[in-house]
Structure 1
Amino acid sequence: MPRVVVVGAGMGGLAAAARLRALGHDVVLCERAGRTGGKLAGWSRDGFAFDTGPSLLTLPATYRDLFLKTGAPLEDVVDLQPVDPAFTYAFADGTRLVLPNTSRARTREAVGDALGGAAADDWDALIAHAARVWERTRRPFLEQGLAPRELLALGRDPRAVRDVAPWLTLRGLGRRLLRDPRLRLVLDRYATYAGSDPRRAPAALCTIPFVEQAFGAWHVAGGLQRLGNALEQRVLELGVQLRLGAEVTRVLVEGGRAAGVELAGGERLPADVVVADADAGLVYGSLLPPLPQTRRALRRVRRADRSFGGFVLLLALRGRTPGLTHHTVLFPADYDAEFDAVFAGRTAADPAVYVCSPDDPAMRPEGGEAWFVLVNAPLHSPGSGSAGTDWRAPGVATAYADQVLDLLAARGLDMRQRLLWSEVRTPADLEAAAGAPGGSIYGSAAHGRAAPLLRPANRSPLPGLFLVGGSAHPGGGLPLVALSAAIVAEQVGAA
């Protein structure tokens, strides 16, 4: 039976381990931390529970497929619940847009009521356009490794090129299709799902709001970390050997191919296949020795822009907030200033603020609320002086936490008199917990017209080594890392 070693038990690594074990491989899963799930994590205290990583699941079919092909269906192991309304958007002029879940008619009505009939027409046109882009790009860009033949065929189809519009940015698409500047802000925000600046991200990211509207916004009862727990249980049921506290320090190379891994204590685990659920820069720059065949891949990873990090507040509140929905986004007056600051290594003075407050009895005590508050943040870069942010420096995180609380109050969500306690999570914490360089959430940013083609391939240039997870093709986020695992399992094949 061929042996596979999976490096890293984030969601991509767990999914790859499950799929490869179901294909008959002998799988060992090594994770340096004391838990699985990677960036998908939870934290609780005094009856308040928080998702500290992803707080929204879209495209649940990716996990339905994973669980169905490895055992019991997804709905047998977690309670998957639609979130309705899906999002509330609050703008600087006081306008509020509350979007329902998976209803085109109700979405049109909501946009029309908040922003006018012309805006409703424009949003319909955008979603129709995004649906065409989704159909053009879903298979070649998301469901398989980048195949030159299919990409060439796509490039030769004038209708496909017109729809995908590789010369356009997401911001440019918004200017072309959306007349209301507030609706453009909503579209711009979807660039942040890929850790990117909408002024530099490709227009094809318009597929994200289409997916959200067509397939829904979902919550897992008890918190999204329960999805990770269920996947961990699945790999154990399948017979995967899970080794926690097992830090891989080296990918072994013999005869011109990956031959296993070496752990921090010197133990060697031979393997026919190595699957790395780790940052691609770490894989090519540290875990592998310098090799002619991986030199280009390393150079490409180092040239790419890093996606930004996240500054998080976990707030335990007494009382309930009238009208607060599960997901709320509070936009600033100048959204561009936020991206200018964050990608220059500075905290934004007036960023967009995202509040997640699930009305889930398993995540809050009676009469209380558990808020997960997130703002985009510069990466942790100690020693860079004024050109970066050292999140470990005394007072930096505390001062920014106070600033975010002030922003919430200024935008109508002043809960400081109801605050029982708070916890802070910075990009430095994510770097330490998940091995994400600088606390980058999504690996490389989706900047430039060729961004979808430049992510590290799942099949590495070194035979026997495969990459999975958020820094590899097709990208970061819960649905895409599940797709990356499916791609790798297909590339490795049955035992």
Structure 2
Amino acid sequence: MARIVIIGAGMSGLAAASRLGTLGHRVTVCEASPTYGGMVGRYERDGFAFDTGPGLLALPAVYRDLALKTGREPLEELVELAPVDPESRHLFPDGTALLLPNASRGGVGQALDAAFGTGSGERWGEVVNRGRAVWEATRRPLLEEPRPERRPDDPYPVPPRRGLGRWLPRGRYTLADVARHELGGHPGLTALLTEYALRHGLGSDSPASATVLPYMEQTFGVWYVRGGMRALADAVFRRCEQRRVEFRFDTPAEPLVEDGVLTGVRTADGSRIPADIVLSSVPSGSRALGRFTVLLALRGARPGGTVHRTVVHAADPEQEFDRLFQHEDLPEHPTVQLLRPDDPALVPDADHESATLTVTVPNGGVLDGIGPDHDAYAAHLLDHLAKAGVDLRDRVLWHETRVTAQVPEPSLAGAPLAADNRTGVPGLYRIGGTAHPGGGLPRVGMSASITAGLIGPA
């Protein structure tokens, strides 16, 4: 039995603690804040409740595996999962509306043909099929196994070039190239592709392997946890308690390495906790993007037929990427995601609605602090939604705003990989969004699984 200390009680820390406790280790978790869950937070006021981090779950298989490996019971016995169907509604600047079904590649193709014209679904399907080839080539080395020693080449199967283009030197093939050459530069299809990238903190210059993101979502589906995503954190925390994991909240800590040897952790008050193994989920490295969130308490019942997730696409996608990645400035009319869950647990009664809108912004600077700039930008975003046909302004009872660090980008073939779970110090490991295999709920769960596998049973 090893003495293990985990720094951070976010989802990666909880997942690692439950796995290592099940393997027979003695586990202590030190968390700087008063509670667990990290970015999977919850805000409550006047009978309303909101997820303050991710609101939807992709690849639930990661947490199904966690539930089975740590308790031999299905995830569905711990939380209530509901598929989000339709998966999303997309509103484009030219007035086009697109309704996408959940986990139905054929249904997506039909919806694209209806919205953009015959052949659009086939063109999109060919790109997503190439995303499938990326998934099959990278699933194990980039998601399920320890970080490879070198960055793998992008396995995206680039189609043969035609005409004079075949004589030009071939360089790095990017999402922008996919949009230009394979989607024909179609504005709607391009906006759909780049929205997946933007949501994961990626730019249009990302490697073409990023097409794995729409493949995963449209193949495996998107899910909602009843009661809000915080219910998932609650379930994993309970599993930790069942495995006798000790939690120390309000306890910032850092690894303690003396003469190159890991001896435990040192807490903010100067005390020491001896440990044979330490896992740190403290973020490392810089983050280029942030997330601006507006929590909306709405008067009036949620209208029948309301879609759970609506995306209002940017008026000028190129300008949006340019402002975000080149000038670190706020896009004037950005891509906005609006979540409107049909969940009685989130509202005081049936005559009210809880909604959350999010937009990707530069990380820091333009919206630092709390003040009138937040409220002004929130009002601007509501006006932006209203012009797209989703007018919530007269229904707002109150709103709350916040700026958080963007979930770090996932590890992609052809791009720099997240930091290795192993460090140069024996017994010291990295987990979480800035460690292999990257950010997002599924990947931080995989980070915990990979690291628990490296440590092994007691």
Q: Which has the higher helix share?
A: 1
| CA distance in structure 2 between the partners assigned to 1:111 and 1:368 by the alignment | 33
**What secondary structure sits across from 1:362 in the alignment?**
helix
Asked if 2 retains the 8 angstrom alpha-carbon contact of 1:132 and 1:163, the reply is no
Asked if 2 retains the 8 angstrom alpha-carbon contact of 1:167 and 1:449, the reply is no
Letter in 2 for 1:108: G
Cα deviation, 1:307-341, whole Å, max 9, x if unaligned, reads: 31111111111223464300110012201222222
Query: Is 1:333 matched up with 2:334?
Result: no
For 1:353-432, what aligned pairs fall within 5 Å after superposition?
353-364=336-347, 365-380=349-364, 388-392=365-369, 394-427=371-404
RMSD over equivalenced CA pairs, Å? 2.1
Corresponding residue for residue 234 of structure 1: 239
Letter in 1 for 2:213: I
Asked if 2 retains the 8 angstrom alpha-carbon contact of 1:196 and 1:447, the reply is no
1:390–1:125: structure 2 CA closer, same or farther, 3 Å change rule?
closer
Cα deviation, 1:362-392, whole Å, max 9, x if unaligned, reads: 2233032211000111212xxxxxxx32522
| CA distance in structure 1 between the partners assigned to 2:367 and 2:312 by the alignment | 26
Query: Is 1:127 matched up with 2:131?
Result: no
Match of 1:187 among 193, 218, 221: 193
Query: Is 1:258 matched up with 2:225?
Result: no
**What secondary structure sits across from 1:130 in the alignment?**
helix
Letter in 2 for 1:263: T
The number of aligned residues is: 443
Report the Cα offset of residue 73 of structure 1. Answer: 2.4
Corresponding residue for residue 200 of structure 1: 205
Cα deviation, 1:123-158, whole Å, max 9, x if unaligned, reads: 11112111111000101111111234xx69x65xxx
Corresponding residue for residue 451 of structure 2: 488
Moved more, 482-491 or 171-180: 171-180
| CA distance in structure 1 between the partners assigned to 2:41 and 2:412 by the alignment | 31
Corresponding residue for residue 87 of structure 1: 88
Letter in 2 for 1:189: E
1:196–1:160: structure 2 CA closer, same or farther, 3 Å change rule?
closer
Cα deviation, 1:175-200, whole Å, max 9, x if unaligned, reads: 23213220111111111232121x22
Asked if 2 retains the 8 angstrom alpha-carbon contact of 1:196 and 1:307, the reply is no
Letter in 2 for 1:442: V
Letter in 1 for 2:75: L
Asked if 2 retains the 8 angstrom alpha-carbon contact of 1:259 and 1:464, the reply is no
Corresponding residue for residue 181 of structure 2: 176
**What secondary structure sits across from 1:69 in the alignment?**
helix
1:442–1:307: structure 2 CA closer, same or farther, 3 Å change rule?
farther
Corresponding residue for residue 293 of structure 1: none
Structure 2: unaligned runs, 5 residues or longer: 160-169
Report the Cα offset of residue 167 of structure 1. Answer: 2.1
TM-score, with normalisation over the residues of structure 2? 0.92
| CA distance in structure 2 between the partners assigned to 1:130 and 1:450 by the alignment | 14
**What secondary structure sits across from 2:360 in the alignment?**
strand
Structure 1: unaligned runs, 5 residues or longer: 281-300, 381-387, 428-439
**What secondary structure sits across from 2:119 in the alignment?**
helix
**What secondary structure sits across from 1:126 in the alignment?**
helix
Letter in 1 for 2:445: A
Cα deviation, 1:25-50, whole Å, max 9, x if unaligned, reads: 11001101011000011112233221
Letter in 2 for 1:309: G
| CA distance in structure 2 between the partners assigned to 1:50 and 1:458 by the alignment | 32
Asked if 2 retains the 8 angstrom alpha-carbon contact of 1:166 and 1:202, the reply is no
Match of 2:427 among 464, 481, 486: 464
Asked if 1 retains the 8 angstrom alpha-carbon contact of 2:197 and 2:210, the reply is yes
1:487–1:259: structure 2 CA closer, same or farther, 3 Å change rule?
same
Query: Is 1:345 matched up with 2:334?
Result: no
Letter in 1 for 2:335: A
Cα deviation, 1:403-460, whole Å, max 9, x if unaligned, reads: 1121122221122111111111123xxxxxxxxxxxx2223x5699743x43111111
| CA distance in structure 1 between the partners assigned to 2:366 and 2:252 by the alignment | 28
| CA distance in structure 2 between the partners assigned to 1:454 and 1:108 by the alignment | 32
Corresponding residue for residue 277 of structure 1: 281
Corresponding residue for residue 441 of structure 1: 406
1:37–1:255: structure 2 CA closer, same or farther, 3 Å change rule?
same
1:418–1:474: structure 2 CA closer, same or farther, 3 Å change rule?
same
Moved more, 63-72 or 389-398: 389-398
Cα deviation, 1:339-371, whole Å, max 9, x if unaligned, reads: 222333322211111100001122233032211
| CA distance in structure 1 between the partners assigned to 2:392 and 2:156 by the alignment | 49
1:447–1:487: structure 2 CA closer, same or farther, 3 Å change rule?
closer
1:393–1:483: structure 2 CA closer, same or farther, 3 Å change rule?
closer
Corresponding residue for residue 430 of structure 1: none
1:161–1:200: structure 2 CA closer, same or farther, 3 Å change rule?
closer
Asked if 2 retains the 8 angstrom alpha-carbon contact of 1:133 and 1:163, the reply is no
| CA distance in structure 2 between the partners assigned to 1:367 and 1:137 by the alignment | 47
**What secondary structure sits across from 1:454 in the alignment?**
coil
